[in-house]
Amino acid sequence: MSGPKTSQLEIERQMRARMQAARDRAETASVSFRHELQLLLSQFALCTDEDISAQVNAIAAQLESEFDSELSKALDNNDVDALEAACSKLTHLADSLAFDAKQRFAPLLAAEKALRRSADLQTSLKAFSRTMADHDSDDAGLVESLELLKAFNPQSHAESGRTAAAAAEPEEDIQERFVAMLDGVRTAIASPFTLEKDRAVMVGMAQDIVGISGPDAQKAASVLAQYELIAPAVAARAERMQELAARMSVLEAELKGSAPRRPAGFNNLDEAVRYLDNLKHLAQRRREERYIHEAIDTIMRRHGYDVARSVELGAVQGSHTLFSGDAKDTGIHAFMSDSGDMMLEVVGLGAPAPAESGTSITAVTDDNDIAHLFNAQNEFCAVYAEIEEELAAMGIRNAVRYKAAPDVAHCKQIHLASDQSDFSADTQIGLADDRRRRDQVQQHAREMR
């Protein structure tokens, strides 16, 4: 029975589990590598030397590029054994690159520490001002008013506004905390992992800092207390966002151009988790589609259909492939829907269609062509039975939904658009010769009767 066949293809649970376990190892390796790299980079978060910062960023970019390249190659494997081997190697690569980063960052970190003056308020003010200018370069008033902070000296005893508790606090401790606040606010604003709502809070905090007029110790103490209250939660959410971002990077590398564009920032962790879940769903679907497509291609090649062309046909979501082999005037049209439905049908190879009209499938009207395609349908019956068995051997369950018997009503021919056809002029002549020889044989058979 080899009229059109429609099946629901699904990767068996055991095969899917092996593929997922391998990709989980790749994801773990990626998260581990990026986490180690960010820990190292965090040591340079307060660096004010542009040359050191440039070297650090260049090293980080080179190591990330090297890891992402190997990650992409690993995830491109659809052979399960090759996928497992490649993903296992990523774990060793992650450790190797993290060690390399430590070695290369060590002299830069030593140089940066030598340049940095401990608890230097003016240095922190300068870096704070630069970060705010980078964050909101249009707000000249905000940057300008930072000059007011330079008049604030935490060691000055402003008699009005100094509470007894504040007066009793060691002046050195106040300055250290104030410097920590300046550094913490600017780091949070500049970090790519700070959630947008938290970034807005920190920008507001920066404006509060700017709003301190002169040596107003009471206002400074209020801003400091507010910062120390919210900073741990902001940092914790940023750390969680860093982990989610690392997982996003793995899936985006796998999806490549088909990944949705990642938002510039997330307002909260729930938004980030929803985006990650969507990536997981898309990646899982693409993996299964790719595995099934490659399995079909492999099986069709075994049966002599060693030429596969991807064709565009209609507006139905899914993919169309035309398989052909030794027979130059017939092929197999395969359609795979996004939901996993596959349809296989024998088709004749008609004359190319103009590029502007697109590829099309039409009914065959010539009696000789109908008879030829009807015979081809019958011949494909045995092949289709073998295809089902070979799909099962590759871990793909084939639930046949519709199996039509050979019928002249199913005799169709496909006309490839001229911009999709890769037939050469010689092949076109060959098609005509094949048909001419077939007609001669049939004519001779009729004369012999």
Return the higher-pLDDT residue of 300 and 422.
300
Residue 111 has pLDDT above 90, yes or no: no
Residue-wise pLDDT for 390-448, tens only, equals 888 877 777 766 667 777 888 888 888 766 555 433 333 334 444 444 454 444 444 44
For the chain, domain boundaries: 13-116, 121-243, 303-448
Question: Are 5 and 400 spatial neighbours (Cβ–Cβ below 8 Å)?
Answer: yes
Task: Please give the model's pTM, rounded to 2 decimal places.
Answer: 0.63
Question: Are 3 and 377 spatial neighbours (Cβ–Cβ below 8 Å)?
Answer: yes
348: its two tokens: 């004749």
The pLDDT value given to residue 173? 65
What residues contact 7, with CB distance under 8 A and at least 6 apart?
341, 342, 343, 398, 399, 400, 401
Bridge partner residues of 417 (DSSP): 353
Residue-wise pLDDT for 179-222, tens only, equals 788 888 888 888 889 999 998 898 888 877 766 655 566 777 78
What residues contact 52, with CB distance under 8 A and at least 6 apart?
44, 108, 111, 112, 115
Return the higher-pLDDT residue of 329 and 357.
329
By percentage, how much of the chain surpasses pLDDT 70?
Answer: 71
Alpha-carbon gap, residue 283 to 289, rounded angstroms: 10
The pLDDT value given to residue 78? 73
Residue 59 has pLDDT above 70, yes or no: yes
Burial pattern 47-76, b for ≥16 Cβ within 10 A else e, equals bebeebeebbeebbeebbeebbebbeebbe
